[in-house]
Amino acid sequence: MSDTAKMTGEEMMALARELYPICRSITGDGVRKTLDILGNHLALERREVPSGTPVLDWTVPREWNIRDAWIKDADGKRVVDFAASNLHVVNYSVPVPAQRMSLEELQPHLHSLEDRPELVPYRTTYYDENWGFCLSHRQREALEPGEYEVCIDSSLEDGALSYGELLIPGTSEEEVLISAHVCHPSLANDNLSGIALATAFAKALSTSPRRLSYRFVFAPGTIGAISWLAANREAVARVRHGLTLVCIGNDDGLRYKRSLDGDAPIDRAVEAVLERSGETCFVRDFHPYGYDERQYNSPGFRIPVGSLSRGQHGEFPEYHTSADDLSFIRGDRLEGALDTLFETARILDTNRQYRSLAPFGEPQLGRRGLYRAMGGETNPADLSIAMLWTLQLADGEHDLLAMAERSGLDFEVVARAAALLEEHELLEAIG
Ligand code: ZN
């Protein structure tokens, strides 16, 4: 891959900064604007699914858009202002024409965090027609009793749900699905880090030929992934591996949540990469709470999709608050995650099952010059042991990852041994 195709951490941060002010939601112009910006980097195909479309067990909701919202005090001063931060309005709030109400009447519509009084929470009301404002607890406590004017200049109308999709073909039709949610407004780690990382990964893959095809889906959480699945019921059979990229730009070790299967090649590939990364990494089993890996792993689809993140969602204190801002994510953390994705892609591309073509007893390696081939290796002992392991396990059942696990050797050494044996017609790759 050329250097120009690989976005630096700073370039990923620049993309996150560009996307940060946009008020995204599960539908509406915020998602379209986001996809437009990603379109400056990728040849994304835009899909629009009309409101009311049945998608699996769901229905695409009406489209939400917002222009302005405020709470004004008796002097007409905006004390809570959507223009200052889009987190101040409960996402998907129904329109509220300008009207006066007492603080008492307003209170049930206010959301703050008593235990973190400086932070503004992020709240949504997608499937419940309601409205509200979010503010810091400090701000809320400073509101004097009396009359306020409130207004939410939003609309909830028939429209569409938008998502973006990109297929980067490899030599094989087998696909790897990379999915990032694009429905959160001004929150950096929880969705911009995943969006920027997926964009950088797609951009780099576009210029580097490979075996596996890659499909990128940039869709609103849950309903977007469900809409994509509904439109691709047949096509998903080609998807062999997948990852959701979420909350991955903060200063924390990489975390991998396994697919439901738990032992799929994607699980073993990511774990192999994390093991040798030298970083403190965490691996946890699948659980049915989190992001769109829930949809992809559901019984009707069972696509082995794991989730790569840093702060486990819901387990970092900045989660879904105004503290998840641009200062919470870092370019070097995104770059580290990008390297992990490249290495995982390389393993997935190379990983195959092998069958020995000389399975009866040990083939005579010396006669084939395979000992000489080891002469130039920096660690000849590893390569020769890897050849023996590979021949021993080449029963058509074990893949290279399994051989690396069983032997305790690095995946690359095992892969090189298999390539050498294949060249000498002692092994054949299956599938
Ligand atoms: Zn979230």
Q: What is the pLDDT of residue 148?
A: 98
H helices of 98-191, in order, are 103-106, 137-141
CATH of the domain at 384: 1.10.10.10
In a domain, 199, yes or no: yes
CA angle at 21 for the pair 16 and 22, rounded to the nearest 5°: 95
Whether 322 and 361 map to the same domain: the answer is no
- For residue 15, what are the CA distances in angstroms to 28, 217, 340? 20, 17, 20
In a domain, 85, yes or no: yes
In a domain, 232, yes or no: yes
Classify residue 408 as exposed, middle or buried by CB count within 10 Å of its CB (0-12, 13-18, 19+): exposed
Say if CB 348 and CB 241 are below 8 A apart.
Answer: yes
Whether 99 and 88 map to the same domain: the answer is yes
Whether 172 and 246 map to the same domain: the answer is yes
Say if CB 56 and CB 67 are below 8 A apart.
Answer: no
- For residue 231, what are the CA distances in angstroms to 54, 123, 165, 224, 234? 11, 29, 12, 11, 8
CA of 53 to the centre of ligand 1 (A): 24
CA of 20 to the centre of ligand 1 (A): 14
CA of 305 to the centre of ligand 1 (A): 18
Helix (H, G, I), strand (E, B) or coil at 14: helix
CA of 138 to the centre of ligand 1 (A): 24
Q: What is the pLDDT of residue 378?
A: 59
In a domain, 255, yes or no: yes
In a domain, 3, yes or no: no
Whether 295 and 216 map to the same domain: the answer is yes
Whether 267 and 385 map to the same domain: the answer is no
Whether 269 and 205 map to the same domain: the answer is yes
- For residue 314, what are the CA distances in angstroms to 124, 318, 321, 409? 15, 9, 11, 36
CA of 301 to the centre of ligand 1 (A): 23
Whether 86 and 231 map to the same domain: the answer is no
CA of 245 to the centre of ligand 1 (A): 12
Query: What phi and psi, each to the nearest 5 degrees, are found at residue 216?
Result: -105, 130
Q: Which two tokens stand for residue 30?
A: 């915020």
CA of 81 to the centre of ligand 1 (A): 22
CA of 32 to the centre of ligand 1 (A): 19
CA of 21 to the centre of ligand 1 (A): 16
The DSSP bridge pattern shows strands 96-102 and 58-59 to be unpaired
- State the total domains in the chain: 3
CA of 320 to the centre of ligand 1 (A): 6
CA of 418 to the centre of ligand 1 (A): 43
CA of 218 to the centre of ligand 1 (A): 15
Whether 363 and 330 map to the same domain: the answer is no
Whether 222 and 323 map to the same domain: the answer is yes
Whether 192 and 49 map to the same domain: the answer is yes
CA of 113 to the centre of ligand 1 (A): 17
CA of 280 to the centre of ligand 1 (A): 24
CA of 425 to the centre of ligand 1 (A): 51
Q: Which two tokens stand for residue 5?
A: 């195709």
Per DSSP, what are the bridge partners of residue 255?
282, 309
- Please say which residue of 131, 157, 183 terminates a domain: 157
CATH of the domain at 180: 3.40.630.10
- Please say which residue of 305, 328, 350 terminates a domain: 350
Helix (H, G, I), strand (E, B) or coil at 419: helix
Say if CB 427 and CB 357 are below 8 A apart.
Answer: yes
CA of 326 to the centre of ligand 1 (A): 15
In a domain, 261, yes or no: yes
State the residue range of the domain holding 36. Answer: 9-61+160-350
- List the one residue out of 67, 60, 125 whose CA is nearest residue 91: 125
Whether 167 and 29 map to the same domain: the answer is yes
CA of 221 to the centre of ligand 1 (A): 8
Helix (H, G, I), strand (E, B) or coil at 410: coil
CA of 78 to the centre of ligand 1 (A): 28
CA of 219 to the centre of ligand 1 (A): 13
- Please say which residue of 298, 316, 350 terminates a domain: 350
CA of 48 to the centre of ligand 1 (A): 22
CA of 283 to the centre of ligand 1 (A): 20
In a domain, 234, yes or no: yes
CATH of the domain at 86: 3.50.30.90
The DSSP bridge pattern shows strands 133-134 and 110-111 to be parallel
pLDDT digit string (tens) for the chain, length 431 residues: 444 578 999 999 999 999 999 999 999 999 999 999 999 999 999 999 999 999 999 999 999 999 999 999 999 999 999 999 999 999 999 999 999 999 999 999 999 999 999 999 999 999 999 999 999 999 999 999 999 999 999 999 999 999 999 999 999 999 999 999 999 999 999 999 999 999 999 999 999 889 999 999 999 999 999 999 999 998 899 999 999 999 999 999 999 999 999 999 999 999 999 998 887 889 999 999 999 999 999 999 999 999 999 966 557 889 999 999 999 999 999 999 999 999 999 999 999 999 999 999 999 988 888 875 555 555 667 899 999 999 999 999 999 999 999 999 999 999 999 999 999 999 999 97
CA angle at 16 for the pair 10 and 18, rounded to the nearest 5°: 105
Whether 187 and 44 map to the same domain: the answer is yes
First to last CA, the chain: 26
Helix, strand, coil percentages, rounded to 5, for the chain: 35, 25, 40
In a domain, 38, yes or no: yes
